Structure 1
């Protein structure tokens, strides 16, 4: 009965289009009332879940991403990548994915990556002969890499829940993120095999050098963030603050695309976005706490052990199915708080590394960004390109399949996600 009240009320509220953060909070409070548990725990739980030092990275990464987006780095990255591969067959597809990977290392957000790049890349792809719906689907999927390649807010949240090193989690996402990008390019080559694509003129060495110099300060940002973390200069949380300051210096004094008047708007937008994320973090944490104190998390964990028969490979397949389905309905941060308390203890008992599990979860949540009905990236892409949800939902299927192949390779070949964390120590 407890499970029915908790999950039943949650899904009913979602169907009524109640915001997910509010749905999580209300369903948790209803369950506390049913179980005669102290409702006074709500305020203390909300406070304790959002007052962790590691979560300070969230507002700073959001601010840094907004600053770099405003500074015009997206256009410079696109121009640079176009000079490198734009002249090749399917070159613009490569540009789309490569720039998405670079911008992912700046924004840490899937929807932000699509919004910043889509208005430039999608028209550029259609001009050389790509189908508009397929171009939008590719951009939306490539944008999902934003939560896999560091810095990633989802990795920060997973680390705050499990206690795993955020630096190790960041490192675990680099190779799988690149692998997913390669699979997307292959999928786009297959999708556009019958299209008559125009080839862009090959850039000269002088043009490549000019584009590189123009994009240099944007390309340097991921190097500073990741180099600082793995060089032991600063923590991931401090790296987030450095990214915001660095972005501000680049925007104000180097690219001069940000004015002092813009700073007020950038701060206001970042505060607004942070408030949404932190409210979800708080209510999702409350939901997870209710799962634990009512014994539902332990019961679900025991059931997973029984169903998998103690076989970690079957368990990994089960959690991929669960996470892919969950990603269709709830966002990555909420899914982390709801499912990690259930899946993490089982994974550790079966000998699965917590960092590897984190990478698998984040990849699943990335795919959730492009699967209806709650595929946020799809809605962003539709709004930018003026494509219907029906068109993009059909066009995105090959890219979902390509992403799942990358997911399965990462799931069953742990070295793909664990090589860099072990190397960087």
Structure 2
């Protein structure tokens, strides 16, 4: 049996047995190492090198910062800022949910924590106002996808490392697409709410309450300004900005809002350790898996086949996006980026596509994976918050999936939407 066949069979069998994606890739890698005759030290060396990266330190730190700011009252104050502006607008609470997700995304850097932080506040409010549980869960899960598009973004850090692309440029490139996707999601939530009749009959716009909430939430709003402003001003690196985010979150939640306790910090650290540990395990096993595939020339052959399909870069990008969306239904975002970036990047660069532009397209495709089962991580978080079935939430999230697909098409054909700010800042 060839090494390539052994990798494929063992990987598929592991997945069918219900093993996590990281264990499946690790098991397939071990099988390939024994069949190919590689020394077992190869496994250890590649795993060590995969984690021996300074930018990777930013991942657990951004997750930690997001957890601290959630438990420390920053997410609640972000929501409070928008609540007085609802009035009798159709879907007002849904709009607030997505806007709050946009702001919290600029702190957490990932999707599921954004859903958990904002959903725990907004879903009970929506249910109380008569919104259906399915609608509430779907709109929160959809807003949470912005956690990986609006900088800082953990998947962007992984893509930057995998593709040797500037992480600050990637962060800058995500700003306009993040605003566009957020606006489209808000429009979809409004139209769906109008059709369903979700509207507050008693609420009115209260500018006095808005001013009070804005004053109380000043420190919360300053978090993304400090984190991203420091990166774009070249005051500190993305990794250093993660440290700043943690320190800032601890300071504000402890000394300004005074909502931090040892019990809450213990919960945050346990959550951070669990999420970060799983991500780092995926990174190590995916790197080994990818190295073995490279030694077998599988990525090169796949890249050549994709390149032979068409000479039109837009056709190739659309084909790649369809493949990424399908794979995202089954594979974790981090593993997908590590495995497929070395395969796809040479193809799109050969067609004249900027690596930063492709990185944003890649992340947008990964967003859909958060809303599509059987993986659908954001849906599972929303399921725990609402008590709805994954099937009903998937159906309710379908309009937002369509919105994300439209956003991908828009970004593909208008690369200036992603490249304008990084070119303006970094030249």
TM-score (normalised: structure 2): 0.96
Q: Is the 8 A contact 2:47 2:285 kept in 1?
A: yes
DSSP 3-state at the match of 1:194: helix
- State the match for 2:179 in structure 1: 178
CA–CA distance in 2 between the matches of 1:275 and 1:120?
27
Say if 1:265 and 1:382 are closer, same or farther in 2 by CA, change over 3 A. Answer: closer
Instruction: Tell me, in whole angstroms, the C-alpha distance in 2 between the residues paired with 1:153 and 1:212.
Output: 28
Equivalent residues in 2 for 1:109-258, closer than 5 Å? 109-196=110-197, 197-199=199-201, 201-258=203-260
Separation (CA, whole Å) in 2 of partners of 1:364 and 1:2 = 30
Aligned match of 2:274 = 272
d(CA) in 1 for partners of 2:115, 2:87: 20
Within 2, Cα distance between the matches of 1:172 and 1:141?
Answer: 21
After TM superposition, give the deviation of residue 183 of structure 1 in Å: 1.5
Query: Equivalent residue for 2:29?
Result: 28
Shift of the alpha carbon at 1:260? 4.1
**More deviation, 177-186/249-258:** 177-186
Aligned: 1:65 with 2:51: no
Alpha-carbon distance in 2 for matches of 1:218, 1:118: 18
Q: Secondary structure at the match of 1:242?
A: helix
Assess if the C-alpha contact under 8 Å between 1:61 and 1:244 holds in 2.
yes
My pick for the range that moved more, 20-29 or 255-264, is: 255-264
Residue in structure 2 matched with residue 287 of structure 1 by the alignment: 289
CA distance in 2 between partners of 1:193 and 1:259 (Å): 42
The aligned runs of 1:66-105 (5 Å cut-off) are: 66-105=67-106
Q: What is the CA distance between 1:272 and its match in structure 2?
A: 2.7
Q: How many angstroms apart in 2 are the aligned matches of 1:347 and 1:218?
A: 39
Alignment partner, residue 379 of structure 2: 378
**Once the two structures are superposed, what CA deviation does each residue of 1:175-224 show, in whole Å capped at 9, x if it has no partner?**
11121111112222332333232245234332111111121111100000
Shift of 1:319: 0.8
For the aligned residue pairs, the C-alpha RMSD in angstroms reads 1.4
Mind listing any 5+ residue stretches in structure 2 that lack a counterpart? none
Per the alignment, in what secondary structure is the counterpart of residue 266 of structure 1? helix
Q: TM-score, normalised by structure 1?
A: 0.96
| 2:54 matched residue in structure 1 | 53
Partner Cα distance (1:155, 1:10) in 2:
26
**Equivalence for 1:403:** 404
Shift of 1:77: 1.1
Q: Is the 8 A contact 1:88 1:200 kept in 2?
A: no
Question: Runs of 5+ in structure 1 lacking a partner?
Answer: none
Shifted more, 114-123 versus 351-360: the winner is 114-123
C-alpha distance in 1, partners of 2:385/2:50?
A: 35
Q: Do the aligned partners of residues 200 and 237 (structure 1) sit closer, same or farther apart at CA in structure 2, a change above 3 Å counting?
A: farther
> Bigger shift: 327-336 or 309-318?
309-318
**Structure 1 residues 188 and 338: alpha-carbon distance in aligned structure 2, compared to 1, 3 A threshold:** same
Between the aligned partners of 1:340 and 1:63, the Cα distance in structure 2 is 27
Does 23-32 or 96-105 show the bigger shift?
23-32
- How has the CA–CA distance of structure 1 residues 65 and 198 changed in structure 2, closer, same or farther, with 3 Å as cutoff? same
CA contact (8 A) 2:90 2:194 kept: no
Contact in 2 for aligned 1:86/1:92 (Cα 8 Å): no
Using the TM superposition, give the Cα deviation of residue 38 of structure 1 relative to its aligned residue in structure 2, in angstroms: 2.5
8 Å contact kept, 1:89–1:199: no
**TM-aligned CA deviation for residue 87 of structure 1:** 4.0
C-alpha deviation, 1:126, in angstroms: 2.9
CA contact (8 A) 2:90 2:193 kept: no
Structure 2 Cα separation of the partners of residues 194 and 68 of structure 1: 35
Report the equivalent of 2:419.
418
Alignment partners' CA distance in 2, 1:366 and 1:16: 26
**Distance in 2 of aligned mates of 1:198 and 1:83:** 12
Mapped to 1, the partners of 2:4 and 2:39 lie a distance apart of 18
Structure 2 distance, partners of 1:232, 1:293, is 38
Does the aligned pair in 2 maintain the 1:62–1:270 contact within 8 Å?
yes
1:88–1:199 Cα contact (<8 Å) kept = no
Output the CA distance in 2 between the equivalents of 1:120 and 1:246: 22
CA distance in 1, matches of 2:147, 2:47: 27
In structure 1, what is the Cα distance between the partners aligned to 2:151 and 2:108?
9
How far 1:149 sits from its partner (Å)? 0.3
Answer with 46-55 or 178-187: which moved more: 178-187
Q: Work out whether 1:44 is the aligned partner of 2:45.
A: yes
